[in-house]
Amino acid sequence: MDDLLNEFLTETNESLEVIDTELVRFEREPNNAEILDNVFRLVHTIKGTCGFLGLPRLEMLAHAAETLMGTYRDGAPVTDDGVSTILMSIDKIKEILGELEENQVEPEGSDEELINKLLSLAGVIEGKRPQNSVEKQDEETKENQTKVADQKLEKNIEKEEKDDKKYNNIGTLERELKPGEVSLEELEAAFQNAEGPDLSAPEEKSKKKEKSTSAKVKNGAKEKSVANQTIRVNVQTIENLMNMVSELVLTRNQLLEISRRYEGREDENEFNAPLQRLSNVTAELQEGVMKTRMQPIGNAWNKLPRIVRDLSVELNKPIDLEMVGGETELDRQVLELIRDPLTHMVRNSADHGIEKPEEREKAGKSKTGTIRLSAFHEGGHIIISIADDGRGLNTEKLKQKILSQGLASESELEAMSDSQIHKYIFHPGFSTAEKVTSVSGRGVGMDVVRTNIELIGGSIDLKSQEGIGTTVTVKIPLTLAIIPALIIEVSGERFAIPQLAVSELVRVSQSGDNRIEKIKNAEVLRLRNSLLPIVRLADLLKMNKMETNDAPKENKGNPDSTFVVVTEVGARSFGIIVDEVFHTEEIVVKPMSGMLKDVSMFSGNTIMGDGTVIMILDPNGLSQSIGQSNEEPANDDVHEEKNIKNENDEISLLIFQAGNKNPKAVPLSLVTRLEEFDCSVIEKAGERHLVQYRDKLMPLVYVDEKGKEQKEGTLPMLVFAEGERVMGLVVDKIIDIVEDRLELQVESSMDGFLGSAIIKGKATEVLDVGYYLPKAFEDWFERKEQVRPRARKLLYAEDSPFFRNMIVPILIGAGYDVTAVEDGIEAYELVQNGENFDIVVTDIEMPNMDGFTLTKCLSEHERAAKWPVIALSAFVGPASEKKAKSLRMFDFIAKFDRKGLLDALKRSEQFIDVEVAA
Amino acid sequence: MIEEKNENSAAGRGQQYVTIRLGGQLFGLPIDKVQDVFMPDNFTFVPLAAEEIAGVLNLRGRILTAIDLSKVLKVPAVNETNAERPALSIVYANELYGILTDIVGEVITLDDNLLEANPVNLNEEWAKVSVGTYRLEKELLVILDIDVLIETLLNKKAA
C-alpha cells in the first residue's frame, strides 16, 4: 500500500504541474479543445486513482473540478472566475497531497465550499445548496455512466498503469472518441512508425500524417516517446554512482602514476594498452554519470506560467510569458538553488517592470506586456536572462533613493554611469517601488537574489533602458559537483580556492615594483589604480603555530617574493598571501562533515589525484573574516572611527592652500565633501556670500578674505555638514590627501589655525574648524584663545562621529592625550581593563550606556572615583543639571560651548593638581 | 508480541564489544556500530576545527572525519603521531567518522545483564559518553555510547 501511495503521490504531483501550466494556456486559448482534453484527462486520472486508493476527500474535489471542466468541454463559455476556481481546487489538492505524504492518511476537513463553487459554476447546482455525496452529483451531471461503471473503468486504468508503465503519461479516455481524435492503439501505431532516439524525429514523421489526426498525434507521440525513454531513478542511487566514479577516477590516476614509473622498461607495453582503455572508459563513465544529474532548466520554470497568470489577474495587467531554451540542462543541485531567485525576478518584472495597460498604450506599446525568459549554455556556464519590455529603471528616482539612503554622495553619483547606478538595486534594503504590494517592494529582494546566486558561484548583471525595458542576466556554473580550483599551499598544507573567485595572481617582492606596504598594521598592495587589502592565509587559518615544520622555512628563506591570490567576492576584492601556488585542477566537491560545518573558511573538501583530502576555501567566508575592508568606505563610519580612536595613530588629512603658499591641513573625517563652484553662481546677502546647494542656501566662509573679491573661475571649497546645517569653506587649492600623525608642534599665532604640525615632512598649519563654523552660523559656537595645560590623559565618550571629530582636535589642541570611545560601555570597559585617565569628558545622550550611568559606574570604581567628569550635552536644562550635580559631576556644559569646555578643563586641572598634592 | 520480546532479550543477552585501550583504560564499543578497523594515513589537518578533530582523510573514496578519542576523554595518548594509531570507522547520520585510539584489542561477548551503571563519582567527560561498566576478571571495561559521543561533538560545534 505504501509503495502504491508513494507512486501515486509522485505521479499526481507531476500531473498537477502539467495541469497548472496547461490551464493557464487554456485560459488564453479557450477554444483549444486539445489542451482542455489533456487537463480533463489528467484530473480524471487523479480522481480515478483516488477512488481506487480510498481517498474520498481528494476524489470529491477532483470530481467537482472535472465536472466544471466537462461543461467547458461541452462548449460552455470559459470564464476567468471558472479557471481561477479550478486552479484553487488544484492548489487544494496539492495541499491535501502534502499532508497525505506526511501522515500517510488523508487529512480531516471539508472542501464543501470549494466544491459547491465549482458545481455552481458548472451550473449543476444553484447557489450554495449543500451537496454531500458524489453519487448524487454524478446523477445530476447526467454523465452516461453509473458510479459502478465509473469505478470499474478506473480500476482498469489502474491495472493498466500497473501492467504497463508506458501508459502512465497518457492516461485513458473514459469516453468515446470524438471525430478527429485517435485511440491509444492508433497512437501506439503512429509511435511505432517513428523511430530513433532523437526526440524531434517522431514529431517530424508524424507531421506527414497530420491531415487526419492533426495535432493530437504530434502531442501524443512526443509524450509517448519521452515516457518510453525515461525511467525514474532514486537520487541517492545517482549520488552513490557519482561517488563510485570519483573513486574509480582516483584509482585510475594511481595506476597511471605507477605505469609512469615503469616507463622505459621492457615490460612497459604489457600495461599501457589496457590502462589507456581503462582511462578512456573511466573518463566517459564520469561524463555519463555527470549527465544523469543534469536536468532541463524548464523544471525550475514550470511554476512560472501560473505565477505570472495569477499576478496578471491580481495586478490587472495582461502579461505574456515567453520561455526559450527550457531544455538547457544543468546540475539538479544548481537547479534547486536557482528556482527561488528566478521566481523572485520574474515576479519583480511583472510587478515593477511591466506598466499598467493604460500607461503602455500611452507609451505606444502593445497593451500586453511581455516577460521573456531564456537560457543557453556558454563555456561551462549557463546564462539565464529575464527580460521585460516594461518601463525600465528610473535612473533619477534611483539616484534620489541612493542619496536618501546615504549610499553614495551626489558627486559620486555624478561620476557614475547609468548602469553603475542601476546596480544599486542589488544593495541590501533597496527598493524603488513607491508602494509595497503583496508581491514585491519590501526592499528585501534583489540583494537576496544576488547573494543566493553568488553563493553558488554565479554572477548577476542588469541592463535597463528607461521606457524600453529591463534585462537581468544570470551566469551560473553548470554544476557544483565539479569545479575548477586553484591549488595553493600554506604552512605545508594544501588548499583549493574556487577558480571563479580568483581574478589574478600577482608575484610580489619587497624589492620589485609590486611590494606590500603597511597602513598601521593593515597590509595593502598597490595594484594598478587601486589599493588592495592583503591578508595572510596562514593568519586567517591560525596556522602560524605550525611554523615549526620545515615547509614555512622555504618561505622564510625567501621573504623577498610571495604570491598574492587576488580574489573577488561580489564587489569586493582582496589579496591572499600564500606560500606556494601550484596549478588549476578540476576538483570534485564533497560536502564537509557536520562537525566542521561551522568553520566558515571552508566550503567543502575534495580528494586529490594522490588520494589525499584537501579543504576547499570559501571565498565568502574569507571575505567576511577580513571584515569591512574596502567596501563602500563612505558608508562605513564604524571602521573609520576605529582609526581615530587613538589619536597617536595616523589619520587622513586633507592638504590645501589658502592665502599663502604654505600647506594647510584639516582632518579629512571632518570634511563632508569637496566641491567646486563657479564664481558666477555665488549670491550675496549683505556681507555674506551664499550658494545654492541641494535646494538650500549654503553660507560660504573664506579662509582668505581676499577670495571674496574673485569674480571669475571656480572656487574650490570644503563642505562641512552637521544635520541640516551646511557650510562651505573656500580655499585656494586642494592639494592632496595624506595619512600621517597629527601632532601639534607649535601653537598658532594666527586666527583660524590650531598650530603647526609636521605632515609628510613639511611644516603644515592645522585648520581650526571651530573658528570658521560660527562665521557661518553664529550659534555653532564661539572661539576662545588657546589654553595649554600639561598633557593629561583624557577619556572622551561621544556617540556622534561629527562631534567626536570636532571636539577631539580641540582637546588635543588644548594639550590632552585623548582616547575617544563611542559610548559609555566602551569607556567603562577601558577603565575596567586597567586604563588610567586623569579626566573624563562624556556626552549624556548615548546608546547602550548614557553619560549619567557612566558617571555613576565610575564613581563606584576604586581608581576612577576621583576622576573629574565633565558632561557635554546638547540639552542643558535644570533637570539634567540637577542630576549632574547629584552625581557630583564636575561640570555640565553645552556641546557648542567650547569656551565653557576649555574653562572647565582648566578648572579641573587645578582640581587634579590639588588631588595629587593631597 | 510475546515472541518478539523473547527474540529481543535473546539477542540482547550476548552483546559483542570491540575493545580498545586508551591511556591504560579498557573501553568497549558495541560491534554493530563499528564498520572497520584501519590504520589511517595521509591525514589532512583542518585549521580552526575543534581540538577533538584530528583531521580528515580518504577512506576508500569517502571522506572520513577523524576524532581523537584521547582529546574527547581528556586522557594522554600513548602515541602522539596520528599515523601510528589505529582507528575504528563509524557511520553516524550518513557520515563517516574515525575514532583514533591507542590499541584495538579483541572482540568479547558479554551478558547484557551484567552491565552495571557507572559509579557516581566518574568524571563528567566520561560519564556523558558511556552507558555503563563491566567488571571483567582483571579489570574494568567502560562501554562507550558512540552516538552520544558524536552527537556531543556535533552540538559542541554548533554552539
Cα distance between residue A249 and residue A280, in whole Å = 11
Whether B72 contacts chain A with CB within 8 A: no
Total beta-carbon pairs less than 8 A apart between chain A and chain B: 74
CB contact under 8 A, A607 and B46: no
In this complex, the residue of B48, B53, B93 whose CB is nearest that of residue A601 is B48
- Give the pLDDT of residue A124: 65
Q: A275 to chain B, minimum CA–CA distance in Å?
A: 20
Name every chain B residue with its beta carbon within 8 A of the beta carbon of A535.
Answer: none
pLDDT above 90 covers what percent of chain B?
A: 24
C-alpha cell at A822: 563611542
User: Which contacts (CB < 8 Å, 24+ apart) does range A154-158 have?
Assistant: A154/A47, A154/A48, A154/A49, A154/A51, A154/A52, A155/A52, A157/A45, A157/A48, A157/A49, A158/A48, A158/A49, A158/A52
Of the residues B63, B91, B94, the best mutation for testing chain A's interface (the one with the most A CB atoms within 10 Å of its CB) is B63
The pLDDT confidence band at residue B144, using thresholds 50, 70 and 90, is very high
Is the pLDDT assigned to residue B143 strictly greater than 90?
yes
- Domains defined along chain A, listed by start: 2-175 (1.20.120.160), 235-292 (1.10.287), 296-477 (3.30.565.10), 494-626 (2.40.50.180), 636-776 (2.40.50.180), 792-917 (3.40.50.2300)
What is the torsion angle, in degrees rounded to the nearest 10, for the CA atoms of residue A880, residue A881, residue A882 and residue A888?
Answer: 110
Q: Given its phi and psi angles, is residue A746 left (phi above 0), alpha (psi -120 to 50 degrees) or beta?
A: beta
Q: How far is CA A810 from CA A799, A904, B39, in A?
A: 17, 13, 70
Judge: A597–B60 Cβ closer than 8 Å, yes or no: no
Q: Which residue of B has its CA nearest to A589?
A: B63
d(CA A861, CA A856): 9
Where would I find the beta strands (DSSP E) of A63-198?
A: none
Under DSSP, the state recorded for A590 is B
Rg over alpha carbons for chain A, rounded to the nearest Å, is 38
One-letter amino acid identity for A762?
K
Q: How far is residue B85's CA from residue A806's CA, in Å, rounded to a whole number?
A: 64
Pairwise CA distance, residues A609 & A861, whole Å: 63
- For A462, the grid coordinates are 542588469
* Minimal Cβ distance to A613: which of B60, B63, B154: B63
Residue in chain A nearest B64 by alpha carbon: A593
The dihedral formed by the CA atoms of A70, A74, A78 and A84, expressed in degrees to the nearest 10: 0
CB contact under 8 A, A613 and B47: no
pLDDT 10s digits, A614-649: 999 988 888 877 763 333 333 333 333 333 333 345
Plot region of A741 (φ>0 → left; ψ -120 to 50 → alpha; else → beta): beta
Contact B47 A541 (CB under 8 A): yes
Under 8 Å between Cβ of A288 and A244 = no
Query: Residues A865-915: pLDDT tens digits?
Result: 888 888 887 666 777 777 877 887 888 887 767 777 878 887 777 666 444
Report the pLDDT averaged over residues B115-126. 87
Q: Is residue B153 less than 8 Å (CB to CB) from chain A?
A: yes
- Name which residue leads in pLDDT, A873 or B159: A873
> Residue A915's pLDDT is what?
43
Beta bridge partners of A819: A646, A795
The count of C-alpha atoms lying within 13 angstroms of the C-alpha of A367, restricted to the half-sphere facing its C-beta, is 6
Summarize pLDDT for B29-81 with one digit per residue, the tens. 999 989 889 888 778 889 888 888 989 988 877 889 999 988 888 887 666 66
Question: Comparing C-alpha atoms, which of B77, B91, B98, B96 is closest to residue B21?
Answer: B77
- Whether ipTM tops 0.90, in short, is no
- Inform me whether the C-beta atom of residue A488 falls under 8 Å from chain B C-beta atoms: no
- DSSP 3-state assignment of A886? helix
DSSP string, A678-697: EGGG-EEETTEEEEEETTEE
Residue A623 has what pLDDT?
A: 81
Interface of A with B in 226-265 (CB under 8 A): 243-244, 246-247, 250
Specify whether the CB–CB gap between A120 and A81 falls below 8 A.
no
- List CB contacts (< 8 A) between B158 and chain A: 598
CB A743 within 8 A of CB A823: no
* Confidence tier at B20 by pLDDT (50, 70, 90): very high
**Among B48, B58, B153, beta carbon nearest to A599:** B48
Give the dihedral sign, CA A813/A815/A818/A824: negative
Collect all residues of chain B within an 8 Å Cβ-Cβ radius of residue A546: 45
Q: In 3-state terms, what secondary structure has residue A382?
A: strand
Amino acid of residue B100:
L
- The pLDDT value recorded for residue A557 is 41
| Averaged pLDDT for residues B14-43 | 88
Q: What is the dihedral of CA A194, A199, A205, A208, to 10 degrees?
A: 130
* Yes or no, beta carbons of A613 and B57 under 8 Å apart: yes
The 10 Å CB-count burial string (b at 16+, else e) for A122-138 is: bebbeeeeebeebeebb
pLDDT score recorded for residue B18? 94
pLDDT(B115) > 70: yes
Task: Look up residue A3 and give its three cell numbers.
Answer: 509503495
Domain ranges of chain B: 15-158
Sign of CA dihedral B136, B139, B140, B141: negative
d(CA B69, nearest CA chain A) in Å: 15
What cell does A403 get? 542619496
Q: Which CATH superfamily is domain B15-158 in?
A: CheA-289, Domain 4 (2.40.50.180)
Residue B142 — very low, low, confident or very high, per pLDDT cuts 50/70/90?
Answer: very high
Regions of chain A with pLDDT less than 50: 1, 126-150, 152-153, 157-181, 194-227, 435-444, 546-557, 628-648, 781-790, 913-918
